[in-house]
């Protein structure tokens, strides 16, 4: 009998469902919530309501595309933490109800562990042990992975996440939310060496991005005073320079982690791993240091249920199931 797992991701502002059969992703549907754009960031209350609206059609589409009947499901997985509590509750309650109705096991998945395991959806897959730089809107971590379900965070941000650094910089430039992909887009036409933003001196493997945000704020205030059209005229160069600095902060720490651990299998994951500058930098650092590098396919970098499904597959094989009393949590380490 094939093992069919339905996975649900609802930690932030994307409602996603995926179906996996024996370790292979058969479908992965994502409903993006556009309602937040006008507010310049995710509004938790609106996110929960949109998940409620989207979850049934998204699950139906994922099952239909995979050609899997509800009655053929072996387990149902959901994102348990971290995330917005109201958003997590929608996926959690839906998964529990379905597990109860179908009398199949429930699997609780950690969202950040799933971002790392997105590297295992398709070949080539990293060999253990490997390092993963996980960069999203809420987290920035260097993770040492010993096996699919054994991971240790060896470095993390002390303040803003890398995705936040992109989004907040974009906001200062007057770009809509989420600004990360727009900075990436404009940066492609710009000169990354045109403006120099400071690199923080943080000991160890931790990161800090709040100083960069302040530096950009002062830089823009000063130039706008002299020329109100400064941002408009130099948008591409500013974006390229901001991106260059965020990427160099990330890559130098990753290089330090690889040097200190002696590990040469290096992966990236999370929404910011969709960034073209970071993807290019990983290849360059990889060539320089003799790393074997891994990046998930573009659609598996930002939030998606396929990564929840692949994590659930490892948990299924290990017999790690959750009880029907499983509750979500906004914050939780793995
Ligand atoms: O992993 P993700 O989809 O959601 C969280 O778990 O947070 O990451 C979202 C973050 C946002 O901050 C978004 O601006 C950023 O990933 N992002 C990018 C790019 N695509 C998404 N940042 C820079 N360049 C991109 N191409
Ligand atoms: Zn995420």
Residue-wise pLDDT for 189-241, tens only, equals: 999 999 999 999 999 999 999 999 999 999 999 999 999 999 999 999 999 99
130 and 239, same structural domain?
yes
Three-state DSSP class for 24? strand
Three-state DSSP class for 239? helix
Whether residue 173 lies inside any domain: the answer is yes
The pTM for the full model equals: 0.95
Whether residue 326 lies inside any domain: the answer is no
**pLDDT band at residue 37 using 50, 70 and 90 as cut-offs:** confident
Pocket of ligand 1 (CB under 6 A): 12, 136-138, 163, 166-167, 178, 180-181, 184, 270-272, 274-275, 302-303
How far is residue 70 from each of residues 19, 56, 60, 190, measured CA to CA in Å? 11, 13, 9, 50
Whether residue 325 lies inside any domain: the answer is no
The answer to whether residue 312 scores a pLDDT higher than 80 is yes
202 and 58, same structural domain?
no
Check if the beta carbon of residue 217 is closer than 8 Å to that of residue 200: no
- Measured by CA distance, the residue closest to atom 7 of ligand 1 is 137
Q: What percent of the chain has pLDDT over 90?
A: 94
For ligand 2, the distance from its centroid to the CA atom of residue 166, given in whole angstroms, is: 15
Whether residue 215 lies inside any domain: the answer is yes
For ligand 2, the distance from its centroid to the CA atom of residue 273, given in whole angstroms, is: 11
Q: What is the dihedral of CA 152, 157, 163, 168, to 10 degrees?
A: 170
Domain that holds residue 77: 4-116+301-318
223 known ligand binder: no
The answer to whether residue 32 scores a pLDDT higher than 90 is no
Q: Give the model's pLDDT for residue 40.
A: 78
**How many domains would you assign to the chain?**
2
200 and 64, same structural domain?
no
**pLDDT band at residue 167 using 50, 70 and 90 as cut-offs:** very high
Report the half-sphere exposure of 136 (CA within 13 A, side-chain side): 22
Whether residue 245 lies inside any domain: the answer is yes
Alpha-carbon span 290 to 200, nearest angstrom: 26
Three-state DSSP class for 148? coil
Q: What does the pLDDT average to over 102-106?
A: 98
139 and 106, same structural domain?
no
* CATH number of the domain residue 95 falls in: 3.30.420.40
Q: What is the dihedral of CA 185, 30, 300, 141, to 10 degrees?
A: 80
Structure tokens at 57: 């059609």
Which ligand 1 atom is at minimum distance from the Cα of 163?
12
Q: Give the model's pLDDT for residue 41.
A: 81
150 and 228, same structural domain?
yes
């Amino acid at each position: 009998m094939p093992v069919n797992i339905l996975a649900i991701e609802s930690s932030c502002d994307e409602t996603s469902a995926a179906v996996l059969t024996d370790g292979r992703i058969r479908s992965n549907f994502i409903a993006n919530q556009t309602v937040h754009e006008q507010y310049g960031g995710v509004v938790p209350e609106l996110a929960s309501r949109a998940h409620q609206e989207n979850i049934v059609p998204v699950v139906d589409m994922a099952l239909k595309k995979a050609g899997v009947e509800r009655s053929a499901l072996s387990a149902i997985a959901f994102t348990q933490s971290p995330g917005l509590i109201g958003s997590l509750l929608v996926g959690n309650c839906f998964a529990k109800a379905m597990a109860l109705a179908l009398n199949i096991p429930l699997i609780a998945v950690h969202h950040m562990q799933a971002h790392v395991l997105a590297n295992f959806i398709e070949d080539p897959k990293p060999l253990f042990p490997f390092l993963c730089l996980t960069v999203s809107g809420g987290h920035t971590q260097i993770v040492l992975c010993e096996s699919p379900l054994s991971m240790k965070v060896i470095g993390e941000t002390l303040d803003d996440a890398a995705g936040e650094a992109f989004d907040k910089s974009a906001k200062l430039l007057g770009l809509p939310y989420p600004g990360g992909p727009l900075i990436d887009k404009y940066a492609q036409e710009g000169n990354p060496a045109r403006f120099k933003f400071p690199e923080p001196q943080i000991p160890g493997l931790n990161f800090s991005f709040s100083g960069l945000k302040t530096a950009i704020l002062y830089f823009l205030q000063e130039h706008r005073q002299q020329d109100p059209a400064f941002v408009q005229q130099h948008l591409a160069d500013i974006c390229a320079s901001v991106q260059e600095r965020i990427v160099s902060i990330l890559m130098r720490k990753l290089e330090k982690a690889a040097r200190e651990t002696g590990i040469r299998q290096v992966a990236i994951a999370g929404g910011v791993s969709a960034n073209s500058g970071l993807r290019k930098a990983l290849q360059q650092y990889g060539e320089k240091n003799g790393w074997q590098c891994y990046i998930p396919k573009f659609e598996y970098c930002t939030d998606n249920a396929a990564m929840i499904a692949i994590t659930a597959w490892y948990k299924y094989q290990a017999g790690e199931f959750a009880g029907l009393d499983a509750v979500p949590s906004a914050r939780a380490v793995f």
